[in-house]
Amino acid sequence: MEVRKATVVGSGIMGSGIAQVISQAGIPVAVFDSFPEALKKGESSIRNSLSRMLKSGKVTEEQVNTIMGRITFTGSMEEALKDSDIAIEAVPEILDLKKDVFKKIEGAALPSCILATNTSNIRITEIADSLKNPERLVGMHFFNPPVIMKLVEVIKGEKTSESAFQSVFDFAKKLGKTAIKVNKDTAGFVVNRISAPESLFFSLIVDRKMDKPEAVDAFAKSQGLPMGPYELMDYVGVDTVFHSLEYYSRELDPDYGKAKIIGDMIKEKKLGSKTGQGFYQWENGKAKIPAAAPSNAVEIMDIFTLEINEAVKLIEDGVAEPADIEKGFCLGMNRPFGPISVAENLTSKEVKERLEQIHGKFGINVFSPAKSIMEGKLKEIIKGKPKQKQAAAKETPSGENLVNIVREGNVARLELNNGKNNLLNANVLKALHEAIDELWNDREIRVVVVAGNGNVFSAGAELTQYIPDAFEFMEHSRRGERIFRLLSEMPKIVIAEMKKYALGGGFELSLNCDIRISTPDCVVGFPEVRIGLLPGWSGSQRLSKLVGMSRATALILSGEKFTGSKAYEYGIVYRTYDEAQLKEKTMEFAAELASSVSPIAAALSKKLINKGSEVPMDVGLDMESIAMGTIYASKDFMEGISAFVQKRKPEYKFQ
């Protein structure tokens, strides 16, 4: 279904945000609200949002006018729904209100109009009970604020038609969002459902006076989480959390209703940021959190195992696939990793024992291990289908490949594609490994250019990724070393195209390439020692071989950052070009090498240079003579000699 016009019913924060997103995608949208003041407030909210975008340079004044021109505000539902292909309800999270609204929408909309609800928790099937044609209703859960958050959960109710479900999924992607499919209707869907046990867990910690909110939040932030649990509850609204848990207690498990303190806070009107007081006082949109030492009452594995447990339940129930769960949680919670990634580094026994400890401490059934975890089948359940496992490894939350291969004749560009800084994490390494394997035996490709998609080569490792212990951190280092080394062992010429940043792991990646070409102002270096680390992906070994032990020692121990021009002076970089010319000149150089250099001679030369530096001189010389004998028997050697004598360009065939 092609959406030519959309309608949003409800002009609150979510409704106005959804309308803006639709208009920005080039689709006319009508916004309906029965309250004139709410309608004016919604229009003002969109204008303010666009004004901020204008000031930041994200849109022009002309674009602002065009976007506003596509939005119609009306107090008439019939007018709003006229000729609309999709109607999205965005009214408060009250079941009876939603049912009543959809009765009116169904009566006024075209029979072909798809109906969508932006509910964040309520089962689609319950809302659809009010409809004559429940197959038309689909869940379309945007995250707040819709203009910024990329995730949309698309939920299939028990009676939702497959065509309506797929149409909404396609529509969400057309809006520039990352959509995940929730194939089975359940309270909370994916992201909120996984977070639900945590909300109960942290409420019980305060209920039972195990520690203070500020201490637990200090612990959460010390573990790299962007916001502590109590600050987050205040931010989204204590009442929202309470009503969600109340709903889950009816739909999922009565134990969700055992949180006491947030119910008391609602009676006292302590709803968080919206009232200026919750667990904390709020001023100017920020929580005033008392200073506190990180709590000892909570461990990070408590949080992670609760998330894993709920994710496993969703997979067992057929609610969503592992890859969608991971993608959705990362985007919805603004986290660098989700429960599937964490589970990959843990055993069933570890997760089971931790959950049993939590269950024993609180006596809450929600915290009991899921069936697959109890049976020792954690790894099997999180793998899903093979193609889904591959997608989880090779795709970012936005659905793009983490590493792209672009072929141009006999040259392949291997482009990192992980956000604006192309940070390196376990998934990027896995995708890089797969890309190298794909190119390794491709006889058509003779030169590989390793580059960054966008303005940055790579600013280094993604330090916020979850690694459970020292042994796994050691293994993470080992995997990176081995994968990077493949570039130096690859039977092709490998060129690093360095720009903006080549720091830490990014610099190490470039050092494993055969040739480095850079912009003069590229920022290069190993800053690891300044954050308590060291170059752990071969940098401590490779840099000294390029620049000598004295300079390498100084650069590594000082954590000094230097420019591409200085790297050229040090002999690290072979050539420099301005950013405007870098790609063109690098690809010209790569194409020239691909057409004029014997691929067999290049492959053997690489091996001699790299292996020869690791063995005594006599052994290296023996290797060299053996290589000479090998190449003498090749057809490419004969072609090279013939071309030289005949003064023509050789046509090498890697034979």
CATH number assigned to the domain comprising residue 90? 3.40.50.720
Residue that terminates a domain, selected from 344, 361, 394 = 394
Per-residue confidence band for 654, with pLDDT thresholds at 50, 70 and 90: low
Share of the chain above pLDDT 90, in %: 77
> Could you tell me if residue 336 is inside a domain?
yes
In terms of domains, do 172 and 128 share one?
yes
| DSSP 8-state symbol, 134 | G
Catalytic residues: 120, 141, 153, 192
Are 492 and 543 within one domain? yes
Pair 568, 605 in one domain: no
Q: For position 612, what pLDDT does the model report?
A: 73
Is 295 contained in some domain? no
Domain annotation covers residue 534: yes
Q: Which of 245, 265, 288 is the last residue of a domain?
A: 288
**Tell me: the pLDDT tens digits for 508-542?**
999 999 999 999 999 999 999 998 999 999 999 99
Res 392: pLDDT: 36
What is d(CA 516, CA 507) in angstroms, rounded to the nearest whole number? 10
Q: Cα–Cα distances in Å, from 278 out to 212, 228, 281, 347?
A: 13, 14, 6, 38
- Cα 410 from Cα 602, distance rounded (Å): 14
> Which pLDDT score, from 0 to 100, does residue 636 have?
77
| Residue 68 belongs to some domain of the structure | yes
- H helices then E strands: how many in the chain? 29, 19
Domains of the chain: total: 5
Q: Do 561 and 415 sit in the same domain of this protein?
A: yes
The pLDDT value recorded for residue 282 is 94
The mean per-residue pLDDT over the stretch 71-82 comes to 95
Could you say which of 288, 313, 335 is where a domain stops?
288
Tens digits of per-residue pLDDT, 586-616? Answer: 999 999 999 998 888 888 888 888 877 778 8
- Are 164 and 203 in the same domain? no
pLDDT for 536: 92
Q: What is the mean pLDDT of the chain?
A: 91
Assign residue 235 the CATH number of its domain.
Answer: 1.10.1040.10
Condensed to tens digits (0 to 9), the pLDDT of residues 614-628 reads 788 888 887 788 878
The answer to whether residue 593 sits within a structural domain is no
Chain-centre distance of CA 555, in angstroms? 32
Same domain, 263 and 354: no
Domain of residue 628, residue span: 598-646
| pLDDT over 70 at 385, yes or no | no
Q: Which residues pair with 152 in a beta bridge?
A: 142, 179
What is the spatial distance between Cα 351 and Cα 343, in angstroms, rounded to a whole number? 8
Q: Please compute the mean of the pLDDT values over residues 28-51 and round it to a whole number.
A: 95
Per-residue pLDDT band for 467 (boundaries 50, 70, 90) equals: confident
Asked if 309 and 347 sit in the same domain, the reply is: yes
Distances (CA, A) of 246 to 161, 201, 227, 240, 303: 29, 14, 24, 10, 21
The structure tokens listed for 182 are: 């929730």
Query: Do residues 29 and 175 share a domain?
Result: yes
The verdict on residue 15 lying in a domain is yes
With bands split at pLDDT 50, 70 and 90, how would you rate the model's confidence at 184? very high
Query: Are 526 and 419 contained in the same domain?
Result: yes
pLDDT per residue as tens digits for the range 14-39:
999 999 999 999 999 999 999 999 99
Closest to 252 measured CA to CA, from 202, 194, 176, 297: 194
Judgement on whether residues 55 and 167 belong to the same structural domain of the protein: yes
Do 375 and 500 fall within a single domain?
Answer: no
| pLDDT of the residue at 130 | 87
591 located within any domain = no
Tell me which of 302-306, 307-311, 360-364, 388-392 is least confident. Answer: 388-392
Distances (CA, A) of 249 to 97, 256, 261: 20, 5, 16
